[in-house]
Amino acid sequence: MNEIWIMFGFVLGACSFINFFAKVNHSIAIREFLLMMYSINYLLSPAIIYCYPSELLTYGMKILPEDYFPMALLGMICLVLGMYTLKIPKPSIFKLDIGLLTSEAEILEPVLKKWAYVGTILSLVGGFFPTEIAFILYLVSLIRFVAAFGLFTLDRKKYWRLITVILVLEVLNTLRQAMFHELLMWVVFFAIFLMYIFKLKNSYKIAAFAIGLFVFFIIQNTKSVYRSSLSTEEAGIDTYIESADKANSDIEVSGTNFFLNPAFIGAVTRINQGWIFASTVDNLDRTKDFQEYNLISEYLKAALLPRALAPDKLKAGEKTLFNRFSGHFIQNNTSMGLGVFADGYISFGLLGVMVFCYFFGLMISFIIRMVYIWTKVSSFFFLFLFPIMNYIVRPDCELQTILGHFVKSIIIYAIVVNIYSVYFDRQKVALSGFPE
């Protein structure tokens, strides 16, 4: 029976990848990408880990496959149902009209250039401000990527230098902080955007996916070495290359069977959010420390209230809840989050998994509906979907962080859209030659 469930995890994980692969040429496949990410983290990676003997694993699954996969499957089903609850009056918004976008170039171009400059400046200075202000500035700074996507669409030959500067600065900032998730997400978002624009042949898509997996594997097995080296070396490209060489040499000497290589097992383990979910289930079944509405109320307080009104609210990256409910203890310098599946189980058991996943999907559905409303001002505003979804597509992200990002980004980008809707209306009137 266990083997059947493990095979089930492999099949569903593969299906999510095939679905994304098939859709990426025909639409901006952000929903398909999210489902692929959650399927890989909660179905495919656990299936791989279950195949290994326990002596090879540092982070093995704490419950049996026949106990784990039914819960993970029900969570995924509820997530999908929630994502498609709110109907989009115009589903073609995912098929971004490049011709229409280009026709708005005369209005868009000066706006996009301004956003690129302002967003880049804010990305450089935002860290000097208090945490809550810095997070708002961070959200505003993400418009540099929206601008980069738009300028690339309008005239990539003219703006390739500006786009390159934005990407290079992001790489340098990533190396300085030794945090790679942000860079990886924006590279993936840009790849999704490019594959839709250029309608790549399957052979090129396969090559792109293979290169992406290789880069991901290298980063996953290099980042810990790189972070350790920063205690004695200066952050930068040279230090990272040295770290990559050391990590790769360790991979070469550690064994000839690639799939039994500790580096490969470690890479799979790092994307196995199911390990945290299974550990939480195992721990809660022993302690019976179910929280009912307490946990979600804490998350909502952290997302909705400023710290001035709720000084005791949760901090981003806080490890207290993880250490209490997962059955494991991690230090502050270790990055792990419970995730929406585990949060649901902590609250109401299996029913909580289903309810949390459904409302998580419903939140995504609401975001898409909101972005659809914005596209009535300009089809270009569809691109705000990328910065809004930046945290949501990450299965390893804390739910409190996701909710905070969701609430603040919707408010901030709605303000931006409303400001520029007036500007667009005036520019359209001016270009038409008719008085207001």
**Three-state DSSP state, 243:** helix
Is pLDDT of 193 > 80? Answer: yes
CA-to-CA dists, residue 118 to 101, 112, 124, 157, 180, angstroms: 22, 10, 10, 22, 23
Quick check: 434 pLDDT over 50?
A: no
Average pLDDT over residues 319-341: 82
The string of pLDDT tens digits covering residues 111-150 is 889 999 999 999 888 878 887 788 889 999 999 999 998 8
Q: What is the pLDDT of residues 272-308, one digit of tens each?
A: 999 999 999 999 999 999 998 999 998 888 888 877 7
List pLDDT tens digits, range 367-402.
999 999 998 888 888 899 999 999 999 998 889 889
Task: Identify residue 259 by its one-letter amino acid code.
Answer: F
Q: What percent of the chain has pLDDT over 90?
A: 36
Task: Report residue 436's pLDDT band, with 50, 70 and 90 as the boundaries.
Answer: very low
Among residues 379, 369, 374, the alpha carbon closest in space to that of 153 is found at: 379
Q: Cα(133)–Cα(303) distance, rounded to whole angstroms?
A: 14
Structure tokens at 429: 């009137």
The C-alpha atoms of residue 390 and residue 408 are separated, in whole angstroms, by 13
Give the C-alpha separation, 284 to 344, whole Å: 12
Asked if residues 66 and 5 have their Cβ atoms less than 8 Å apart, the reply is yes
40 DSSP assignment: I
> Which helix (H) or strand (E) element contains residue 97?
none
Say which residues have a Cβ less than 8 Å from residue 76's Cβ, sequence separation at least 6. Answer: 12, 35, 38, 39, 42, 43, 357
- H or E element, residue 393: none
Q: Which tokens go with 11?
A: 């099949």
- Rounded CA-CA distance 387/143 in Å is 8
- The share of the chain scoring above pLDDT 70, in percent, equals 92
- Give the list of residues 6+ apart from residue 111 with CB closer than 8 angstroms, or none: 420, 423
pLDDT digits (tens, 9 = 90+) for 226-247: 877 877 777 778 887 877 777 6
Question: How confident is residue 30, by pLDDT bands cut at 50, 70 and 90?
Answer: very high
Domain that holds residue 246: 2-432
Length of the chain: 436
Q: What is the number of structural domains in the chain?
A: 1
